[in-house]
Structure 1
């Protein structure tokens, strides 16, 4: 399915794949002024050839670009040392309690289901708004389902059927619509990020405290959403799903380790 591209040619640096510092600088510039292009080169050979391969980069092809481990460590550090403690203190002050017991969440739910469904709902359409509008009813319905292999298979089949029909009909927006979307993209990006963050308020039983403090409860999700949105636009939906999954896997691995090797720490 076609994606939105800027009308002007995209220049790719000839000196190779960006380093992590360059990616971080690009992320900061992107957050200040979100824009649809250019993609960042995903492999040394692409950068050296001076080309940006858009089609193959959307899914698995995009995994060769970003420094995923570096971004995972940054997100873990920021959330563990800064935003997580702040959100926890706000939860205590406002009387908010978590609805879900993290000890009883499955790996399938946290590391596969949530990253795929949430990235498709909130970030797939950032570069592909035309097909995303047709896929959203199925994807939003999936958010209300109980995670399971059967549910995942049904969602995948439904989305695949819709995508096949759209591809067969050559569905795409007129160029004038695409230009308008490109102009509105900064607003769309930040609204999608805020929606992703505020969705996670559903994880809490809200108390009777100051409701003005509630946005602070989801600061970790807001900050993570900015990075995930940047990665989706720059490297593809596959890269943002992979980062989301790796980020979620960290706390799950920590809880599994404590459950099996130091259960007393959890009881305390």
Structure 2
């Protein structure tokens, strides 16, 4: 069985040009990698370069472009966090959202069966919780979630040694782009009066999906969470400084 592609060797600290070239190759041809993690100093350098690029394009290109589109088309600004109690905006956007969104959209992109198993169990859990709106009682919901938790744990243990299947590796370019597009698309719900044109306002999230998909493969899901949190913090800082 073909093994996943190993990232750019980093026995010596890679240069900025080498990091950016590897990113460009990945975006042209996304592939399943063996993440380096953040155990080495050189890996932190890679994360720093990726974060700097992520935030630079975010602040200098995608956010200004989105603001221009919004003003020219008369689209309403996002209002998803307007109902949050005072003091909750920072922990939700900089701590909770990066962890939850990285696990949901990129945690399983190793392609390992145990990760895909947990993803499936998570979707079933969401279906069980949604059953409340259709009259499913709390005891049934609690029992269903406990049962799913046991099934998820058993599957995680049973599948722990299995590598990513060939179909996942060969189809990963499509998976990578679909995940980035869905990640961007789900943020349309940040806008209360969303329309078809609102899709033009999620360019920052599409850029984030592209960058974070690479970070997940190159450095791991933990590094993606840190990058995601830092990008959200930079966006919040810009909003506070400009009074947005």
Match runs of 1:206-221 below 5 Å: 206=193, 211=196, 213-221=197-205
**CA distance in structure 1 between the aligned counterparts of 2:159 and 2:73, rounded to whole angstroms:** 48
**CA distance in structure 2 between the aligned counterparts of 1:95 and 1:141, rounded to whole angstroms:** 39
Q: Which residue of 2 aligns with 1:129?
A: 116
- Matched position secondary structure for 1:126: coil
After TM superposition, the score normalised by the length of structure 2 is 0.73
* CA deviation profile, 1:205-251 (whole Å, cap 9, x unmatched): 3467xx3x443211111011111011111111101011101111123
How much does 1:126 deviate? 0.9
After TM superposition, the score normalised by the length of structure 1 is 0.68
Name the CA shift for 1:66/1:95 in 2 (closer, same or farther; >3 Å).
same
How much does 1:202 deviate? 0.8
Q: Which residue of 1 aligns with 2:180?
A: 193
* CA deviation profile, 1:91-128 (whole Å, cap 9, x unmatched): 22333212235795521101111101111111111113
**CA distance in structure 2 between the aligned counterparts of 1:86 and 1:41, rounded to whole angstroms:** 34
How much does 1:74 deviate? 1.9
Residue-pair matches, total: 221
Q: Which residue of 2 aligns with 1:243?
A: 227
The CA RMSD over aligned residues, in Å, is 3.6
**CA distance in structure 1 between the aligned counterparts of 2:128 and 2:238, rounded to whole angstroms:** 31
1:171 pairs with 2:168: no
| Structure 1: gaps of 5 or more residues | 48-63, 143-156, 259-264
Question: Which of residues 216, 223, 226 in structure 1 aligns to 2:207?
Answer: 223
- Matched position secondary structure for 1:205: coil
Question: Which of residues 59, 80, 92 in structure 2 aligns to 1:109?
Answer: 92
Q: Which residue of 2 aligns with 1:52?
A: none
1:91 pairs with 2:70: yes
Name the CA shift for 1:161/1:99 in 2 (closer, same or farther; >3 Å).
same
| Structure 2: gaps of 5 or more residues | 130-144
Name the CA shift for 1:136/1:65 in 2 (closer, same or farther; >3 Å).
farther
Name the CA shift for 1:11/1:252 in 2 (closer, same or farther; >3 Å).
closer
